[in-house]
Structure 1
């Protein structure tokens, strides 16, 4: 059984297969976050660590799926950007999954650090592929926005 198959079997976790399904979930439940790891069961005993300093962080490093109030573009664009930015963390042993929890602090990249987490959904690789394609279509990376 692969890690992703195991995550699909986690009680109360749905498996999201499209960016539209992720958006629907975010519209229904907020705040939500995404984490790329071996999954919720593995993260029960895992501590996030800042790779540059070696410091152990006081929560799981995550990225927000719920957009900031200033975001005036489609939700799918926000989601594509959030998934695209961390798609490089995806490996056969690591996959994206959606969770909620309590913010215990911020990491070195200002990312939320969650404690008392609740797994919500696993995210299919096809969603990450869709996010990468959407990102390439709707954003202009590298341009100065000032």
Structure 2
């Protein structure tokens, strides 16, 4: 699987007629052997949990800002040994955090450490990172 090194490379994958997702895990091979599980209930999920990288209709800032935000929201999983990778798939259901659960997975690319660092810097510089909905 190729590796993307810049947010601009990732942004090129975002097209109006399809959705790409990001997943933090050991990777597609291990995910095929170990399905996603709801950690609180212990129930096996009917697909792999992932998060859409497609900006919503109301997003008017650059797509790279949206991508930086989405990538940085799950960086704690990287600290737990997971690697971020981009994939497509069919949405089968929704997980406990309302994330899409995907089947018919097609891996696209790994995200490099350089891309994650760029995303983190952009997230901190261009957005009010970590601000709560209820803060004034």
TM-score with structure 2 setting the length:
0.89
Q: In the TM superposition, what is the alpha-carbon distance from 1:54 to its structure 2 partner?
A: 2.0
Instruction: Determine the C-alpha separation between the residues in 2 that align with 1:95 and 1:143.
Output: 27
Please, which moves more after superposition, 90-99 or 66-75?
Answer: 90-99
Q: How many residues align?
A: 134
1:24 to 12, 17, 20: 12
**Cα deviations by residue, 1:86-137 (Å, 9 ceiling, x for unpaired):** 0111148421110000001111111110001000111101111111111111
Instruction: Determine the C-alpha separation between the residues in 2 that align with 1:143 and 1:91.
Output: 23
Instruction: Determine the C-alpha separation between the residues in 1 that align with 2:17 and 2:83.
Output: 21
Structure 2, unmatched stretches of 5+, are none
TM-align CA RMSD? 2.0
1:62-141 correspondence runs (5 A): 62-91=50-79, 93-140=81-128, 141=130
Structure 1, unmatched stretches of 5+, are 1-12
Give the structure 1 partner of residue 21 of structure 2. 33
TM-score with structure 1 setting the length:
0.83
